[in-house]
Amino acid sequence: MHIGSANRASAMDLSLRNAKKFVHLDLKGAPPRIGYLIELIQLFADLGANGILIEYEDMFPYEGELKVLQSKAQPPYSREEIIFIQRAANSRGLEIIPLVQTFGHLEFVLKHEIFRKLREVDYCLGTLNPHCNRGVRLVQEMLRQVMQLHPKSTSLHIGADEVYILGLGEESKHWLSTPGHSVHQLFLSHVIKVAKGIQESFPNLKLIMWDDMLRSMTPETIKESGLVGLVQPMLWDYCPTLDVDNTVMLMEKYKSAGMSQQWVASSFKGSTAVYTCVTNTQRHVDNHLQWLKVASSLSAGIEIQGIALTGWQRYDHLSVLCELMPVGLPSLASCLQTLLHGSFTEEAQKKVTETLGTVEVGDTERLSSRTSSSFVGAKLAELIVKLTSMLETAELRHFQNNMFVRGWFTPYHRQKRIISPLIAQQITTQAKMILDAVECNVQEVRQEMCLLYPDSTVQEWMDQHVTPAVEPLQNLLRDMESVLNDMGLCT
């Protein structure tokens, strides 16, 4: 199967193919056990990556006043483990860029009561109040602690995407009431303040930020703000039908504002739906093919510094876990090779197959125990695909539409506490057959997942993805047993 073979470009610009390729490691959900994380780093290098964009969030061992930010679900990585991670990456020639949110997506900070007053508005846990000096000092201290533990890193990503409801706080409303003040200026002033603060401590550090809050600004607004020269934008778009022309226009706009050095961000997992469990490789390869088209259409003055292949583990700190890394690795391999070869050629497919084993590339959703995949986490990936398929069957999801349930155990029957014992046997037999099959697979997934992830992650995944599917059927059986017991027919 040749993914995207019809989309090959005859004269592809090499600016993106030759750019550094960073795998995004999102640790704000399902942080791998350290042994598995080291294996993943080796695999990233084998697949053709040049670096890792690592987002620790609450898995970083913050100290002092910031110690409260450490994860309570499982212990954060220790300082020694973070040093170990860097050594493993450096030994394979992988550069590490830490990513620390400094404005939006600060749920893991602002959820704590001690920092509650730092929110832009009380009901939004993600956005920092830009008028509070304590908030600025807080994020600068976060940056300082992270960079002190990454002495070899020459770049830092300061986030700043999706700064929701900025301008709706009381202090912001007062500030915006002054003629000439705008939300754009409010955003830019905070980012500049944070950037200048961290560069005072690390003057040679290159800073990167997400670009979405800049998209609606004019080149003049960006140029006059003082942002140019401080931070390089990283344009992100994870859509398989990415609008090439509009993206090129956006990059040209940033160039006209004086920001000729730019980054781009694609996606290999974690951007399909907030609750997705199984990665669709084709979708993500298509996204990379679109980015290659963008790169081939840019003017000569734009310098692409690198591409980050994002692999989100949650949409934000408070959302459900999406695809675990093992399930996304075939997609990552396919996307990296697509970038390296300009399309998913036979040579690219051969490299993926050699590295991962005889996996059916591009059809991760059909991965089964019949394959002989050899990549780290392959068995868990296969089991998750199998279990997910079971959980999505109409037989389980819509058991309430079963003839016997709709005919003899409706809400009316439950309210009146009556059921035909003979029909109850039919319902019980069918329901238990489904639940037993699911439970058998659940135990296999749990056992394999525990080898790669903390127990808390395993339980969270089960509670989020398995329980909602099986609970209605379990509740139905409990209700039926209770009714039979009331009728004096339950043994």
Same-domain pairing of 52 and 194: yes
Bridge partners of residue 267, in order along the sequence: 310
Using one digit for the tens of pLDDT, what is the confidence trace for 340-376? 999 999 999 999 988 898 655 445 444 444 456 678 8
Same-domain pairing of 342 and 448: no
Q: Which of 341, 356, 371 is the last residue of a domain?
A: 356
pLDDT beyond 80 at 36: yes
Same-domain pairing of 321 and 456: no
In a domain, 35, yes or no: yes
Lowest mean pLDDT segment, chosen from 174-188, 331-345, 394-408: 394-408
What residue numbers bound the domain in which 173 lies? 5-356
Predicted confidence at residue 399, as pLDDT, reads 86
Predicted confidence at residue 97, as pLDDT, reads 98
What is the band of 5 on the pLDDT scale with cuts at 50, 70, 90? Answer: very low
Cα–Cα dist 54/42, whole Å:
15
Predicted confidence at residue 368, as pLDDT, reads 45
Lowest mean pLDDT segment, chosen from 66-75, 188-197, 301-310, 390-399: 390-399
DSSP string, 440-457: HHHHHHHHHHHHHS-HHH
264: closest CA among 228, 210, 215? Answer: 210
Q: What is the mean pLDDT of residues 472-486?
A: 89
Predicted confidence at residue 490, as pLDDT, reads 64
How much of the chain, in percent, has pLDDT values that exceed 90? 82
Q: What is the DSSP letter of 165?
A: T
What does the buried/exposed string (b/e) look like for 358-386 if buried means 16 or more CB atoms within 10 Å of the residue's CB?
ebbbbbbbebeeebebebbbbbbbbbbbb
Predicted confidence at residue 17, as pLDDT, reads 81
pLDDT beyond 60 at 473: yes
Predicted confidence at residue 271, as pLDDT, reads 96
Predicted confidence at residue 230, as pLDDT, reads 97
> CB-based contacts of 57: which residues, under 8 Å, 6+ apart?
27, 28, 101, 108, 317
In a domain, 192, yes or no: yes
More confident residue, 237 or 371: 237
Mean residue pLDDT of the chain comes to 92
The total number of structural domains in the chain stands at 2
pLDDT beyond 50 at 9: no
Same-domain pairing of 118 and 195: yes
What is the band of 2 on the pLDDT scale with cuts at 50, 70, 90? Answer: very low
Using one digit for the tens of pLDDT, what is the confidence trace for 246-255? 999 999 999 9
Task: For residue 50, give both structure tokens.
Answer: 């040049």
Q: What is the mean pLDDT of residues 290-308?
A: 95
pLDDT beyond 90 at 295: yes
Same-domain pairing of 410 and 318: no
Three-state secondary-structure class, residue 482: helix
Q: What is the mean pLDDT of residues 238-252?
A: 97
Q: What is the mean pLDDT of residues 159-175?
A: 96
Alpha helices in 392-420 (DSSP H): 394-397, 403-408, 411-416
Same-domain pairing of 89 and 18: yes
Using one digit for the tens of pLDDT, what is the confidence trace for 177-225? 999 999 999 999 999 999 999 999 999 999 999 999 999 999 999 999 9
Predicted confidence at residue 11, as pLDDT, reads 37
In a domain, 369, yes or no: no
143: closest CA among 105, 92, 98? Answer: 98
Same-domain pairing of 105 and 25: yes
Same-domain pairing of 337 and 478: no
Residues identified as active-site: 162
161: closest CA among 197, 195, 125, 209? Answer: 209
pLDDT beyond 70 at 1: no
In a domain, 397, yes or no: yes
Same-domain pairing of 402 and 288: no
Q: Which of 356, 382, 406 is the last residue of a domain?
A: 356
Range 453-457 contact pairs with CB under 8 angstroms and sequence separation of 24 or more: 453/30, 453/31, 453/32, 453/33, 453/36, 453/324, 454/31, 454/33, 454/73, 454/74, 455/74, 456/73, 456/74, 457/29, 457/30, 457/31, 457/73, 457/74, 457/321
In a domain, 375, yes or no: no
203: closest CA among 157, 158, 154, 159? Answer: 154
Alpha helices in 231-307 (DSSP H): 244-256, 281-296
In a domain, 367, yes or no: no
pLDDT beyond 50 at 4: no
> CB-based contacts of 221: which residues, under 8 Å, 6+ apart?
184, 185, 188
Same-domain pairing of 68 and 175: yes
Q: What is the DSSP letter of 7?
A: G
Considering Cα of 267, then 272, then 275, then 281, what sign does the dihedral take? negative
Q: What is the mean pLDDT of residues 82-105?
A: 97
Q: Which of 356, 384, 418 is the last residue of a domain?
A: 356
Place of tokens 């808390």: 456
CA distances from 251 to 67, 102, 475, 483 (A): 39, 23, 54, 66
pLDDT beyond 70 at 75: yes
pLDDT beyond 70 at 465: yes
Three-state secondary-structure class, residue 286: helix
Same-domain pairing of 416 and 330: no
In a domain, 339, yes or no: yes
Predicted confidence at residue 369, as pLDDT, reads 41
419: closest CA among 470, 477, 473? Answer: 477
Same-domain pairing of 343 and 456: no
Question: Where residue 206 sits, what CATH number does that domain have?
Answer: 3.20.20.80
Cα–Cα dist 112/6, whole Å:
51
In a domain, 380, yes or no: no
272: closest CA among 299, 300, 227, 238? Answer: 238
